[in-house]
Structure 1
Amino acid sequence: MEDTNDLILALKKYTYIDTVETLEKEQYPEYIKRVLKNEGFIIDDIAANELSIRVDYDLYALDLEINKLKLYSYDTKKITIELIKELVSKNLEDNIYELTKLVLEEKIEKAHEVFKDLMQTNEEPLRIINQLGQRVRELMYAKDLLNQHYNQEQIAQYFNYKKGRAYFLIKDAKVVKQEKLEYLLSSLSQLDFKIKSGNIDKKIGLELLILGSV
């Protein structure tokens, strides 16, 4: 539609029109630094990258979180990774992916940090346990399909995933041992039973599992 159209001319005259950028994932940290610098705030590369991940590379969510972070750092004009971790929660799926990976790799300290992040955002422990179980089963199914010589496209179709997500699922399934998956799934099942039978507090039980004590 051309600018000579009366409606468009009227809109341009009386309406504020904002141009929304589209960014590739790797462009987000620099974009964040630039936006904040223009408003007199400082953020380093690590913090900008963490913020990008936590908003899931969504510009609308990013704008909301930047405004919140600016309010909390108004006096210092410095946005730190600690502040981001305190105020900006990851979505549950990302946290579950990371937590499962860290537990399977026995990176206990980092796994415990993810657990504490989840507790700060008031995530329900039983929901986390259920999601961890689903992720472990997903890896087990993927390993089984790989053993049946399924390729990436077939696995993507099986799970109804996009090819990119299927690629990372296959990558993770190839490196993790079946025995570890079976052990973790069994531990999660036992913990779920203990919680529901009143033998252990759900938050404490999940924390002990992550620390390797359940």
Structure 2
Amino acid sequence: MKNNYLLVYDNYYLFQEKLKDIISSTKFENASITNYDLEEEDLYNALLDLDTYSFLTEQKVIIIKNINLLEDNQDTKHLLKYLDNPNNDNLLILTTTKFNATKKINKELKKKTNYIKLETDLNKEIKNILQGYEVEAGVITKLIEYSNNNIDIIKSECDKLKQYKFDTKKITKEDVETIVIKHIGESTQIVFDLIKDIAIKDKKRAIIKYEKLKKYNVDDIALIGLLESQLRLMIQIIMFSEKNYSNKDIAATLNIHPYRIEKTKELLRYSNKKDVCNMIKNLSNIDYKIKSGQIDNKDAIFMYIINN
């Protein structure tokens, strides 16, 4: 168990910080690092790496992302077997943003790894952001609900509410419905169109959509959250469609409106699974570079559009 970790998170920045902390505390700073994403490839490739001796460095860090997609098959059994008798020269980190603790596989993973859950206390975060304002009961709940638990979107919307009620310093549920719902609804449609333009490589139209979003005061961090949420939904729909799920079944499984499934499927006319995975990977890299101070967030989405 010593060098086996299971990391469940809801905030990408916290996840990256914890990742660095684990690598440092286990003294794997000089090891080679390889990432495997189960949205893009089979578990088999990661298992092969775990079982293969490295000729370049003695130590290896192997990160397997989206382990919520593990199925009850031979490869998963192989992984559980490895966890019982791991190679001390390997640091294995399993990661996911979605973790059903009642699943049999997940129960086994928790037993055989150092389980760490990084959870953002959204109530506490919102109270801190809105400090100095009188907040009506129900405002925080609505903000969390309408932002789909995305902390970056929450921060962006709280800033708009503070500007809107700067004079009175009182924020009501009606304010949330007036400012946040209208903004998220309209900007989500533009995000949908932006993804389409990026997918078909129409950079000129994509930049126009991006400039339009800026007029809605959507900052780049919040926009990354909206883009990533939509792209990950596309991957989920592809995977469920491969299993012959109907739109209704997918909507029920993911607990979202069937209309959103239908609209998202329209995007899949312009891009395949590999394209979407690449878009997510590039977006995650941009997000990390912003939050680690490597690039200015004002240039981030523009660079993302140009480089995709």
Q: 1:99 — aligned with what?
A: 194
Q: 2:251 — aligned with what?
A: 156
Answering whether residue 202 of structure 2 is matched by residue 111 of structure 1, we say: no
Give the number of the structure whose alpha-carbon radius of gyration is greater: 1
Answering whether residue 232 of structure 2 is matched by residue 137 of structure 1, we say: yes
CA distance in 1, matches of 2:266, 2:253: 16
Alignment check: 8 A CA contact 2:231 2:280 kept = yes
Quote how far apart the aligned CAs of 1:174 are: 5.3
Matches within 5 A, 1:1-214: 91-173=186-268, 175-212=270-307
Alignment check: 8 A CA contact 2:187 2:216 kept = no
Describe the shift of the 1:146–1:206 C-alpha distance in structure 2 as closer, same or farther (beyond 3 A): same
SS of the aligned residue for 2:268 comes to helix
Quote how far apart the aligned CAs of 1:192 are: 0.6
SS of the aligned residue for 1:161 comes to coil
Q: TM-score, normalized by length of structure 1?
A: 0.54
SS of the aligned residue for 1:153 comes to helix
Q: What letter matches 2:295 in structure 1?
A: I
Alignment check: 8 A CA contact 1:152 1:166 kept = yes
Q: TM-score, normalized by length of structure 2?
A: 0.38
Alignment check: 8 A CA contact 1:133 1:185 kept = yes
CA distance in 2, matches of 1:114, 1:168: 18
Describe the shift of the 1:175–1:118 C-alpha distance in structure 2 as closer, same or farther (beyond 3 A): closer
Alignment check: 8 A CA contact 2:199 2:270 kept = no
Describe the shift of the 1:123–1:171 C-alpha distance in structure 2 as closer, same or farther (beyond 3 A): closer
Unaligned stretches of 5+ residues in structure 1: 1-88
Corresponding pairs, count: 126
Give the structure, 1 or 2, with the largest relative contact order (CA under 8 Å, sep 6 or more): 2
Alignment check: 8 A CA contact 2:237 2:265 kept = yes
Higher helix share: 1
Quote how far apart the aligned CAs of 1:172 are: 2.8
Unaligned stretches of 5+ residues in structure 2: 1-182
Quote how far apart the aligned CAs of 1:141 are: 0.2
SS of the aligned residue for 1:211 comes to helix
SS of the aligned residue for 2:244 comes to coil
Q: How big is each residue's C-alpha offset from its partner over 1:134-155, in whole Å with a ceiling of 9 and x where there is no partner?
A: 1110000000000011012211
Q: What letter matches 1:176 in structure 2?
A: S
SS of the aligned residue for 1:91 comes to helix
Alignment check: 8 A CA contact 1:143 1:174 kept = no
RMSD, aligned α-carbons: 2.1
